[in-house]
Amino acid sequence: MEAKETYFVDISSGDILQDPNQNASPSFRIVATPTEVNELKILFNDNYDDDMSTMRRAQVPFRQYHNSPEDEHYDQSMRNIYLKIYMLGDEEARRHIQKIGVLENDSDYHVREDIENLK
């Protein structure tokens, strides 16, 4: 059985550090095994790939965001990262993720009225 250790995760850069230095700005503290940290790194790598595909999609001016599978893949990869951090995070991390609502059920999502009116 692997021992769990404390790590610090910077959501914007994807860094996962054991000792945050002054140059890092960790967003969350997690307690994880090396295997769980590796799983989180894989999620960050997937997110990077999805981010690159959204950049390519953004170069096409007539494709709208809400009709873009690339953007949905990126959004889902971010939700996967937040879910993993929620599962491994300390109480402060869980509270913050609950507060921002990133893991709320997508079936409750409603299109903004101004966007709906454009259809």
pLDDT digits (tens, 9 = 90+) for 12-35: 889 999 887 756 677 899 999 999
Tell me if 42 is assigned to some domain: yes
* Rounded Cα–Cα distance for residues 111 and 80 (Å): 22
**Mean pLDDT of all residues in 40-60:** 75
In total, how many domains does the chain have?
A: 1
Please say whether the beta carbons of 29 and 46 come within 8 A.
Answer: no
pLDDT given at position 12: 87
Tell me if 18 is assigned to some domain: no
Domain residues for 90? 34-112
State the DSSP code for 104. S
Please say whether the beta carbons of 109 and 75 come within 8 A.
Answer: no
The total number of residues written for the chain in this structure: 119
Tell me if 87 is assigned to some domain: yes
pLDDT interval class at 109 (50, 70, 90): very low
In the numeric block, the tokens 């709320």 are attached to 104
pLDDT digits (tens, 9 = 90+) for 54-107: 665 555 666 555 566 667 777 888 899 999 999 999 999 999 999 999 888 654
Tell me if 75 is assigned to some domain: yes
C-alpha 95, offset from chain centre:
16
**Mean pLDDT of all residues in 31-53:** 88
Longest CA pairwise span in the chain (Å): 55
